[in-house]
């Protein structure tokens, strides 16, 4: 299907004088998406299936049986989406390659139509003056690799490195910034322990092995990208700002276990070259499995050019009985912790509390704990809201504007406290397939009508465009 001209006019960038957040000169702005959430064309152009095709087509796995078969049809409509980005004025666009569009079986024969698609996308972005930031893995493992064990097995990490090498050789001349993995927490623990995401497994050791192999795959990919001459290489983590429900010894111990599961399992190997200090009490010794090999920590802790942080909301934890009494029967997320929600603030339609100060605390905490922290990029931040199209045909998403405004100010607070943050990407450019939550959760600054696939820029799009224009005209010179 050819790309139809269905984009509604975004309207002029007029309005009252700018009084939004201000960033230092050189700070960069962008929006983010991911392949399975927007591309569609699931069985076109030689693409092979991924675990998200299998999962979303399994009854009961996603809300209302939603799939990414069509999603936003970005595969066909990407010129229109790039026009929206150009009009927005972003410096950069973060998106992901679909591994199984490039390598339908995960390894082996390359799909020339997949290469052509990303060639066109990159070329059009560059022609629009937008620097591509590419995520290699945003959760869509080729199904062929899952059939051979998925992230539970080391050969998947090796296949990932080969895919990274292929991508760097073919596209490295046009990609400014490479992100190896998006949120490995979700891949390992939501996918292989909670089972809420693909591949829908509920395991203990399997999920811990997956976490390790994701990190090994990251390290191998860093080396492959650098060997091909890439200069800006990093990883995106969804680190959590975690509060304890109380100062009691039980809740403080629960906090340590939650910190281990959510944060330290990633930051310690990546940034300190060691395994997390509290992994034994968290997983009863199971994390230290035979999948760990000598030399892995050196590989995983290859220096990074930047760390990507995705932030949405804080969490609060409290001690709770394990779901399985026998440690051997526990999934990797069954760590004797439950989440409570003491936040008396507004919540988004995801049910997430809006607490911008937690964003500052997270960034400052990371910077304090890791003095040699590489530069930080906010690779995702945004909110899902109950958007409606008003009588004037527009989406007046004031809640999203407030969310973005407050969270960007939280980033400027972190900058003022010495955290080296270089850029910020809004999640997301478009409303899209929100994984197990299907299409009900709208994160876009551009509305997508899923019947017609028409794109309509929301008020938040205009707000962001004004912010970028104001930043270009007069960056903050006070810091």
**Which residue lies nearer to ligand FCB by CB, 224 or 237?**
237
Exactly one of 380, 385, 387, 397 binds ligand FCB (CB under 6 A); that residue is 380
Residue (310 or 316) nearer to ligand FCB, CB: 310
Task: State yes or no: residue 435 binds ligand FCB (CB under 6 A).
Answer: yes
Q: Is 183 a catalytic residue?
A: yes
Q: How far apart are CA 7 and CA 217, in angstroms?
A: 39
CB of 349 to ligand FCB, least distance (A): 11
Q: State which of residues 53, 91, 146, 183 lies at the interface with ligand FCB (CB under 6 A).
A: 183
Q: How far is it, in rounded angstroms, from Cα 412 to Cα 415?
A: 5
Distance CA 98, CA 36 (A): 7
The one among 443, 461, 463, 464 contacting ligand FCB by CB under 6 A? 443
Check binding of 434 to ligand FCB (CB under 6 A).
Answer: yes
Residue 37 or 412: the one with the smaller Cβ distance to ligand FCB is 37
Q: Angle CA(163)–CA(169)–CA(170) in degrees, nearest 5?
A: 90
Give the angle subtended at the CA of 183 by the CAs of 135 and 350, to the nearest 5°: 110
Is residue 238 within the footprint of ligand FCB (CB under 6 A)?
yes
* Site stretch for ligand FCB (CB under 6 A), options 179-187, 199-207, 283-291, 353-361: 179-187
* 236 and 135 Cβ atoms separated by less than 8 Å: yes
User: How many residues bind to ligand FCB according to rule CB under 6 A?
Assistant: 12
- Minimum CB–partner distance for residue 73 and ligand FCB (Å): 18
- CA separation for the pair 400, 458 (Å, rounded): 10
Question: Which of 380, 385, 399, 434 is an active site residue?
Answer: 380
Q: How far is the CB of 37 from ligand FCB (least distance, A)?
A: 6
What number of other Cβ atoms are within 10 A of residue 407's Cβ?
24
Q: Which stretch binds ligand FCB (CB under 6 A): 42-50, 178-186, 356-364, 468-476?
A: 178-186
Q: Does 310 bind ligand FCB (CB under 6 A)?
A: yes
Catalytic annotation, pick one of 183, 259, 268, 399: 183
Using the rule CB under 6 A, is 403 a contact of ligand FCB? no
Nearer to ligand FCB, 49 or 191 (CB): 191
The burial class, CB within 10 Å (0-12 / 13-18 / 19+), for 95 is buried
Contact 91, 30 (CB under 8 A): yes
Q: Which of 7, 22, 34, 41 binds ligand FCB (CB under 6 A)?
A: 34
- Whole-angstrom distance, CA of residue 102 vs CA of residue 71: 19
Nearer to ligand FCB, 182 or 460 (CB): 182
- Report the nearest approach of ligand FCB to the CB of residue 197 (Å): 10
Q: Sign (positive/negative) of CA torsion 288, 310, 86, 413?
A: negative
- What are 192's two structure tokens? 């292989």
Least distance (Å) from ligand FCB to the CB of residue 78? Answer: 18
User: Annotated catalytic, 380?
Assistant: yes
Of 192 and 435, nearer to ligand FCB (C-beta) is: 435
Q: Please, which residue, 375 or 438, has the CB nearer to ligand FCB?
A: 438
| Identity of the residue, 275 or 312, whose beta carbon is nearer to ligand FCB in the bound complex | 312
182 is an interface residue for ligand FCB by CB under 6 A: yes
The answer to whether 56 contacts ligand FCB (rule: CB under 6 A) is no
Smallest distance, ligand FCB to C-beta of residue 379, A = 8
d(CA 45, CA 41): 8
CB of 312 to ligand FCB, least distance (A): 6
Least gap, CB of 183 to ligand FCB (angstroms):
5
Instruction: Select from 103-111, 124-132, 181-189, 465-473 the region that touches ligand FCB (CB under 6 A).
Output: 181-189
93 binds ligand FCB, rule: CB under 6 A: no
Shortest Å, Cβ 321 to ligand FCB = 28
- Nearest CA among 276, 271, 275 for reference residue 256: 276
Q: Which residues here bind ligand FCB, judged by CB under 6 A?
A: 34, 37, 182-183, 186, 238, 310, 380, 427, 434-435, 443
> Would you name the residues annotated as active-site residues?
183, 380
């Amino acid at each position: 299907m050819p790309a139809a001209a269905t984009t509604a006019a975004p309207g002029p960038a007029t309005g009252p004088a700018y009084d939004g957040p201000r960033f230092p000169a050189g700070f960069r702005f962008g929006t983010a998406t991911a392949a399975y959430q927007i591309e569609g064309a699931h069985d076109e152009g030689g693409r092979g299936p991924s675990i998200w095709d299998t999962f979303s087509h399994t009854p009961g796995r996603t809300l209302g049986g939603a799939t990414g078969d069509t999603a936003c049809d970005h595969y066909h409509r990407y010129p229109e989406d790039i026009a929206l980005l150009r009009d927005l004025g972003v410096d950069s666009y973060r998106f992901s390659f679909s591994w199984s569009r490039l390598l339908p079986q995960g390894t082996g024969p390359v799909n020339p139509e997949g290469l052509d698609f990303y060639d066109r996308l990159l070329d059009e972005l560059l022609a629009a003056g937008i620097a591509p930031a590419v995520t290699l893995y945003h959760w869509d493992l080729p199904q062929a690799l899952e059939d051979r064990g998925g992230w539970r097995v080391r050969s998947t990490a090796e296949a990932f490195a080969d895919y990274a090498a292929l991508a760097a050789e073919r596209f490295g001349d046009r990609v400014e910034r490479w992100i190896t993995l998006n949120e490995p927490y979700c891949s390992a623990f939501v996918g292989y322990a909670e089972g809420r995401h693909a591949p829908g497994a509920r395991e203990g050791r399997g999920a811990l092995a997956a976490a390790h192999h994701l990190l090994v795959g990251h390290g191998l990919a860093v080396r492959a990208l650098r060997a091909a001459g890439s200069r800006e290489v990093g990883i995106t983590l969804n680190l959590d700002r975690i509060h304890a429900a109380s100062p009691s010894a039980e809740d403080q111990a629960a906090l340590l276990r939650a910190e281990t599961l959510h944060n330290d399992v990633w930051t310690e190997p990546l940034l300190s070259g060691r395994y997390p200090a509290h992994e034994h009490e968290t997983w009863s010794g199971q994390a230290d499995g035979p999948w760990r090999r000598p030399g892995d920590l050196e590989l995983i802790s290859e220096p990074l050019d930047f760390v990507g942080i995705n932030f949405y909301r804080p969490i609060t934890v409290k001690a709770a009985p394990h779901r399985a009494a026998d440690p051997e029967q526990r999934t990797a997320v069954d760590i004797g912790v439950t989440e409570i929600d003491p936040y008396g603030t507004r919540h988004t339609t995801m049910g997430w509390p809006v607490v911008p100060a937690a964003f500052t605390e997270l960034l400052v905490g990371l910077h304090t704990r890791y003095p040699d922290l590489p530069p930080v990029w906010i690779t995702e931040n945004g909110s899902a809201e109950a958007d409606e199209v008003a009588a004037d045909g527009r989406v007046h998403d004031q809640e999203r504007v407030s969310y973005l405004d407050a969270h960007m100010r939280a980033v400027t607070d972190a900058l003022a406290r010495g955290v080296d943050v270089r850029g910020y990407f809004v999640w997301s450019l478009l409303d899209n397939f929100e994984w197990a939550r299907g299409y009900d959760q709208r994160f876009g600054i551009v509305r997508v009508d899923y019947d017609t696939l028409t794109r309509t820029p929301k008020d938040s799009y205009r707000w962001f465009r004004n912010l970028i224009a104001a930043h270009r005209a007069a960056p903050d010179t006070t810091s």
